[in-house]
């Protein structure tokens, strides 16, 4: 199982490489619509997107590394990632308000955070070989020499 771990982490990193924070995506959409200079509050809010994007990239890099390093960290990592995801989405909502758009609904924010936490849990389970099907898939790859 350990010999396949770098392969699985590489696949996960490649999959996540195109990801940016919700705040960054929101800032890009607002800027494309030309609303970025409409108010000082809007400009200040748009600047917060860079911080959220840096946090997102830190999560993308640290989570797989820490998951592989210690299985015991998985619950703490899921909780931390969910909290940071929530903060990113709330920041994006505040950005929308500051620039004159409707905020993201609380229901949508919570649904998105819960969905992402579930996906993270599933990816962690596959990466760590938890569950019969993941172990079988890893066994197939190791038996075939790939």
- The domain segmentation of the chain, as residue ranges, is 2-143
- In this prediction, residue 130 carries a pLDDT of 45
Taking the chain (146 residues) in runs of 10, the rounded mean pLDDT of each run is 55 55 87 73 86 82 75 80 90 91 91 86 58 40 43
Q: Which residues of 110-145 are buried (b: 16+ CB within 10 A; e: fewer)?
A: eebbeebbeebeebbebbbbeeeebeeebeeeeeee
Strand residue runs (E) in the chain: none
- In this prediction, residue 68 carries a pLDDT of 72
Contact between 120 and 63 under an 8 Å Cβ cutoff? The reply is yes
- In this prediction, residue 87 carries a pLDDT of 92
- In this prediction, residue 93 carries a pLDDT of 92
**pTM score of the predicted model:** 0.68
């Amino acid at each position: 199982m350990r010999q396949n771990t770098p392969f699985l982490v590489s696949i996960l990193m490649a999959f996540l490489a195109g990801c940016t924070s919700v705040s960054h995506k929101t800032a890009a959409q607002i800027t494309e619509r030309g609303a970025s200079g409409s108010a000082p509050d809007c400009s200040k809010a748009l600047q917060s997107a860079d911080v959220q994007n840096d946090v997102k990239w830190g999560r993308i890099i640290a989570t797989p590394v820490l998951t592989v390093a210690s299985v015991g960290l998985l619950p703490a990592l899921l909780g931390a990632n969910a909290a940071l995801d929530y903060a990113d989405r709330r920041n994006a909502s505040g950005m929308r308000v500051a620039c004159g758009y409707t905020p993201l609904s609380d229901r949508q924010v919570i649904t998105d955070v819960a969905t992402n936490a579930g996906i993270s849990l599933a990816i962690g389970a596959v990466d760590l070989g938890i569950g019969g099907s993941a172990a079988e898939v890893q066994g197939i790859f190791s038996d075939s020499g790939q």
